[in-house]
Amino acid sequence: MSEPLVIGFETSCDETGVGVVRGHTLLADALATSVGEHERFGGVVPEIASRAHLEAMVPTVHRALADAGVSATDVDAVAVTAGPGLTGALLVGLAAAKAYALALDVPLYGVNHLAAHVAVDELQHGPLAEPSLALLVSGGHSSLLLVPDLAREVTSLGRTIDDAAGEAFDKVARVLGMPFPGGPPIDRAARDGDASAIDFPRGLTGPRDAAYDFSFSGLKTAVARWVEARQRAGEPVPVADVAASFQEAVADVLTAKAVRACRDHGVDHLVLGGGVAANSRLRALAEERCAAAGIVLRVPSPRLCTDNGAMVAALGSRLVAAGVAPSAPDLGADSSLPIDVVTR
Amino acid sequence: MLVLALDTATPTLVAGVARRTGGDAEVLAERAVPSGNRHAELLVPAVREALAAAGVALADVGAVVAGLGPGPFTGLRVGVVTAAALADARGIPAVGVCSLDAVGSGARTVVTDARRREVYWAAYDATGARVEGPGVVRPEEARLTGPLVGDPRFADRLGAPVEPAGVTTAGLLRAAAALLDDPSAAGPLVPLYLRRPDAVPPTSFKPVTTS
Ligand SMILES: [Zn+2]
């Protein structure tokens, strides 16, 4: 008997993702994005994202099933992001997933978006070591998670107390006159810059600060002040150095805290996830520090680090395999779903 | 043919099952659930109940009718995407109608809650055909001709009585009659938003240090 075929729906932000997996095998990862429609607003506009999700939903399902070479009637279970995320956006995917589950007469699993970011790595690197630590960084989240059992128990060690890391990238990019989202252009510009040129602050790294929490608001403001001071003085802004120094500050804090959390908890596997995990400096520094600390680092390909449907299908597949009970028919979305709720 | 009708354009979601013979529709079961902001939670259970009460299975349904609003966006989308997904999964047509067409009958002006102290409205002639709207307006500025039907909470601000009425399965079937006769004429299910998204492009880079 072959492993169950699971379809996953992800609509927590601006990506409409529909993925198909069988066991740990990725069969399809169809994605529609409304990112271009948000560009001139400098951030994701929830109503625009929600409208785009509705438009893209059924066509994206068709693409996913076609790419996977399966038909809807082959599906054994449906998984969907139930939170955290933008309520209006979440509800489009949730309602669609509930309808497909009803029409196909298969169980429905409402899952946690953050846990799905961890689960996606199983599609590339096989079963997760448990416990693992996970560092998830994107425009919407910056979290350090302890994962004793991905299907049942995920706990939060720390998270950002203000901006998400990805938001800091977006805002710094804006200060430097770069497009939204800010991650890729900053990464590119930083390649020609000196990461030690400017000593930007490392938030929450004092001896009395929370060991695993993050803060990027002060860093963002420091960069803006530095750039504006240059502009006021009529001096040119060394964009590459600013980008490299900012990126270094983010990567330094994230990796230092993740490695420290691994050591403190006796965990020797670290998984990276989220859109910011595509940042080349973060990946390089994480590799360097994990190697030095004897930690096995697992990083999904950039395509799977960003939000997608495959990650939701991957977690759904894991839940089916673990025999976790499906969600009730009155499943709803929770924009601030706590991380210890893997499925609801 | 059996038809499943769904609407989430108002605070009361509707899920109904009807049998359509020739041009006539007989409603077999209907669930009208006061659902506030909980359309996503309550719609699928209501569909299950309506099917069970009608004694039919989803596999027996030959078409889906969806109310396209106008209505508060988040709830409205729940019904529209549910209809689209159900129809897609079953390989049956889904047709959309203006939700206001399914409220009341005959000569009337329908008013429903548009939030932000406004109402959605549409006017119908004696044959029940929509002659104006749908639109969105502040009740105080509305020039609506009676009789008014729909959400009675706006009577004071409209300066006229509003006979309470909601979306019904029979109304949805009636509004969808022509499309159900020829589903190939139906376009994709696109909500009647009537308003643009609230979104303002940033005017300067200053907010970074001032916010
Ligand atoms: Zn994410």
pLDDT by residue for chain B (211 residues), tens digit each?
A: 999 999 999 999 999 999 999 889 999 999 999 999 999 999 999 999 999 999 999 999 999 999 999 999 999 999 999 999 999 999 999 999 999 999 999 999 999 999 999 999 999 999 999 999 999 999 999 999 889 999 999 999 999 999 999 999 999 999 999 999 999 888 899 999 999 888 766 544 433 333 3
pLDDT of residue B201: 62
State residue B209's pLDDT score. 36
The answer to whether the CB atoms of B209 and A61 lie below 8 A apart is no
Q: CB distance from A230 to chain B under 8 Å?
A: no
B2-185 placed in CATH 3.30.565.10: no
Q: What's the angle, vertex CA A73, arms to CA A68 and CA A77, rounded to 5? A: 80
Rounded mean pLDDT, A218-238: 96
Encode pLDDT of A109-136 as tens digits: 999 999 999 999 999 999 999 999 999 9
- Asked if the Cβ–Cβ distance from B85 to A96 is below 8 Å, we say yes
Q: How far is B43 from chain A (nearest CA, A)?
A: 8
Which residues of chain B neighbour A104 with C-beta distances below 8 Å?
89
pLDDT at B210: 34
Q: Which tokens go with A326?
A: 């499906």
Q: Is the pLDDT of residue A212 over 80?
A: yes
Rg (CA), chain B: 18
* pLDDT at B200 (0 to 100): 67
- By C-alpha distance, the chain B residue nearest A227 is B209
Residue pLDDT, tens place only, B156-201: 999 999 999 999 999 999 999 999 999 988 889 999 999 988 876 6
Q: Where are the domains of chain B?
A: 2-185
| Residue keyed to tokens 């449906």 | A78
The 3 state secondary structure assigned to chain B is CEEEEEECCCCEEEEEEEEEECCEEEEEEEEEEECCCCHHHHHHHHHHHHHHHHCCCHHHEEEEEEECCCCCHHHHHHHHHHHHHHHHHHCCCEEEECHHHHECCCCEEEEEECCCCCEEEEEECCCCCEEEEEEEECHHHCCCCCCEEECHHHHHHHCCCEEECCECHHHHHHHCHHHHHCHHHCCCCCCCCCCCCCCCCCCCCCHHHHC
Verify whether the Cβ–Cβ distance B74 to A329 is below 8 Å. no
- Does A27 have pLDDT greater than 50? yes
The residue whose two tokens read 């729906």 is: A9
Map residue A278 onto helix, strand or coil: helix
- Full-model pTM: 0.94
- Domains, chain A, in order of start with CATH, read 5-124+304-322 (3.30.420.40), 132-299 (3.30.420.40)
**What pLDDT is attached to residue A37?**
87
Mean pLDDT, chain A, whole residue set: 96
* pLDDT tens-digit series, residues A153-205: 999 999 999 999 999 999 999 999 999 899 999 999 999 999 999 999 999 99
Q: How far apart are CA A210 and CA A230, in angstroms?
A: 33
pLDDT at A1 over 80: no
CB contact under 8 A, B77 and A54: yes
Q: Is the ipTM of this complex over 0.90?
A: yes
Instruction: Report how far ligand 1's centroid is from the alpha carbon of A300 (Å).
Output: 13
Question: What is the per-residue pLDDT for B198?
Answer: 80
Ligand 1 center to residue A337 CA distance, Å?
13
For testing contact with chain B, the best of A39, A48, A54 (most B CBs within 10 A)? A54
Contact B45 A45 (CB under 8 A): no
CA closest to A222 among chain B residues: B209
Measured CA to CA, the distance from residue A322 to residue B79 in angstroms comes to 32
